[in-house]
Structure 1
Amino acid sequence: MPRQPLIFLHLLGVIVWVGGMFFAYCCLRPAAAEVLQPPQRLPLWAATFSRFLPYTAVAVAVMLTTGFTMLLQTGFQNAPPGWHAMLVLGLVMAAIFAYVYGVLFPALRRDCTAAAWPAAGQVLNRIRRLVALNLVLGICTVAAAMTAR
C-alpha cells in the first residue's frame, strides 16, 4: 500500500484514540463529577465506554497494522529512532487498552448492572488512572513521531 494512505489511517487512529481519551479525561470526567451523583454518573461512564471502546479497538488495530506496515516497508534497521520509540510506546498503550477493555470495562458494567456503586466506583477509578497513563504515553508517542527524521 502506498505510504500516504497508511499515514492518513495511522493519524486517524491517533485522533480517535488520543483525542477521545483527552475529551473523556479532561472534559467529560469533571463535568460528570460536578453534576451527577454516582448512581447516575457510573452508568453514564459504562454507556460512554460501550460506545467509545469498540471505536478505539478499531483505531488500535489500524494503528498497529499501518505502523508495522510502514516499519516493514522501511526496514527496522533503517527506521529512525523515533519510530522505534513509537513502536514501544504504542505496544504498551495497546496492552493497557486491552486490559481496560477486556478486564476492567466488563467489571464496570457488571457492577453498574448490580447497582454496586462502591465497587463500580473503584473500577472506574482504576480505569481513570490507566486512561491518564495512556494519555501521557500518547502525548509522548506524538512527540516521538515529531522527532523522527
Structure 2
Amino acid sequence: MFMSIALALHVLAVVVWVGGMFFAHQALRPAAVDTLEPPLRLTLWVATFKRFFPWVWLCVIVILVTGLWMMTQFPKAIYIHSMMGLGIIMMLLFMHVFFAPYNKLKKAVASESWPEGGKALGQIRMFVGINTVIGIVTIIVATAGRYFI
C-alpha cells in the first residue's frame, strides 16, 4: 500500500517539475520573446518563477523522500540508483538557479536594470534546458531502466 502511494507521489512530483520546465522552456519562453518587450518579459518571468519555484521545492522534497524510500525497498535495482543520481544533479542545478541567477533576476527587475535581468534570465534558461533534458533522460531510465540496466 505504501509503495503505491509513494510511487504515485513520486510520479506526480516529476510530472509537475519536468512538465513545468518543458512548458516554460519550449512554449512560454518563445511566446514571451515573440510578443513582449524586455521589461514586460522579465517581469513576467519573475512572476512566473515566484509561483512555480515553491512547487519545485515541494517536488524536490517529495521526489527525494519517496526516492530514498524506494531505494530501501529495491537496494539492488541499479536503475533506481541511476534515477537518484540524476535526480540529485537536477536538484543541485535547481538550487543553483534559485539561489544565484533567480536572485539576480529579481534584483535586476526591481531596479529596472533590463540588460542585467536579461543576462540572469539567459543563465536560468540554460540551466532549465539542461535540467529538462536530464529530467527526460531520468523518465526514460524510470520507465525502461529495469529492462536495460
1:95-134 CA-partner distances (Å, limit 9, x unpaired):
0000111222111100000000000000000000000000
Instruction: Quote the residue 2:61 is aligned against.
Output: 61
What CA distance in whole angstroms lies between the structure 1 residues aligned with 2:145 and 2:116?
43
The yes-or-no answer on 1:102 pairing with 2:99 is yes
Query: Pick from 102, 111, 114: which aligns with 2:108?
Result: 111
Instruction: Quote the residue 1:93 is aligned against.
Output: 90
Root-mean-square deviation (Å): 1.0
Q: Which has the higher contact order (CA 8 A, sep 6+)?
A: 1
Question: Which structure 2 segments of 5+ residues have no match?
Answer: none
The yes-or-no answer on 1:132 pairing with 2:115 is no
Letter in 2 for 1:41: R
What CA distance in whole angstroms lies between the structure 1 residues aligned with 2:144 and 2:8?
18
What CA distance in whole angstroms lies between the structure 2 residues aligned with 1:5 and 1:148?
21
Return the offset for 1:2. 1.3
Instruction: Quote the residue 2:120 is aligned against.
Output: 123
For residues 41-60 of structure 1, the aligned pairs below 5 Å read 41-60=41-60
The yes-or-no answer on 1:25 pairing with 2:5 is no
Query: Pick from 126, 135, 138: which aligns with 1:141?
Result: 138
For residues 71-82 of structure 1, the aligned pairs below 5 Å read 71-75=71-75, 78-79=76-77, 81-82=78-79
Describe the SS at the equivalent of 1:148: helix
TM-score (norm 2): 0.95
What CA distance in whole angstroms lies between the structure 1 residues aligned with 2:31 and 2:19?
17
What CA distance in whole angstroms lies between the structure 2 residues aligned with 1:110 and 1:89?
31
Question: Which structure 1 segments of 5+ residues have no match?
Answer: none
Runs of 4+ displaced beyond 6 Å: none
Instruction: Quote the residue 1:16 is aligned against.
Output: 16
